[in-house]
Amino acid sequence: MGTPGAPSRGQRITVDDIVEAGVELTASEGLPAVTVRAVAARLGVRSPSLYHHLPGGLEELRGLVVGRIQELIEAEDVVPQGATAWDRLEVPLRSVGRVTRTYPGVLEHILTAGKDGPTTLSGSERTVQLLLESELADVAPEAYVAIHAYVTGWVFAQRPSAAAAKDNGLTALARVLRNADRLDQEKVLLDGLRALLVGLAQAQQPQATKASSSARGGRTRAG
């Protein structure tokens, strides 16, 4: 039986073969497991044969794999017809939970090594455009910072284990952590982020009202 993702005997390796093998490896073992040697082994070839296609080595390989995964995720991000700006904003944010679950290590890579790369920049541009079309247009900079901080925390935060809490006699923490593990993680992510953004929009309203009142007062005094 051939190795998953490996071309048939005698067939030349292509960049698509390499990237596909990297995506499969990411799904099964996480992005940190994607190395030139591991992908070559998955394809049933020697590592040096991959460098003909990947002169940039590991960095180029992981960049191509992350880019392909981004394409796969965006293809699944279907915006319902007639969706509000809020609903459309939730579509890419919902992807955060899906990527974390399906392709471990990818978001960590994007948020660190790839923070100024085309994948990150295009995703951020998409988010900002949706913010500008929503009720958050007046607080788009604040909203973008909040989303980035919230998502980054979600990706990198590691909760203590319920077992460790129980072993240390922390019964309240153990009970909460057990319940937390049963939650719909993507729903928690979206509910928390929506509450955060609604709070930003509401905080902006008094400021806008105050600024408007000050402007009217100035015109009245000038008159």
Q: Looking at the 3D structure of the chain, how many domains does it have?
A: 2
* Domain identity same for 223 and 177: yes
* Domain identity same for 89 and 195: yes
* Domain identity same for 143 and 159: yes
Of residues 16, 78, 169, the one with CA closest to residue 24: 16
Q: How many helices (H) and strands (E) does the chain have?
A: 11, 0
For residue 24, the model assigns a pLDDT of: 96
For residue 98, the model assigns a pLDDT of: 79
* Domain identity same for 146 and 182: yes
pTM for the whole structure = 0.67
* Domain identity same for 31 and 138: no
Which pLDDT tens digit goes with each residue over 10-22? 568 899 999 999 9
What the block records as the tokens of 40 is 């070559």
For residue 32, the model assigns a pLDDT of: 93
For residue 86, the model assigns a pLDDT of: 74
Q: State which of 76, 103, 129 marks the end of a domain.
A: 76
Distance CA 84, CA 67 (A): 28
* Domain identity same for 98 and 60: no
* Domain identity same for 95 and 198: yes
For residue 170, what are the domain limits? 80-223
Distance CA 33, CA 29 (A): 6
For residue 82, the model assigns a pLDDT of: 75
* Domain identity same for 93 and 59: no
* Domain identity same for 58 and 2: yes
Rounded to 5°, the CA angle 34-156-178 comes to 110
For residue 4, the model assigns a pLDDT of: 53
Give, for all 223 residues of the chain, the pLDDT tens digit: 445 555 555 568 899 999 999 999 999 999 999 999 999 999 999 999 899 899 999 999 998 999 899 888 877 777 777 777 777 777 777 777 778 888 888 888 887 776 777 767 777 888 888 888 887 888 889 889 988 888 888 888 767 888 998 999 999 999 999 998 888 877 888 888 888 888 888 887 655 444 444 444 544 455 5
- CATH code at position 35: 1.10.10.60
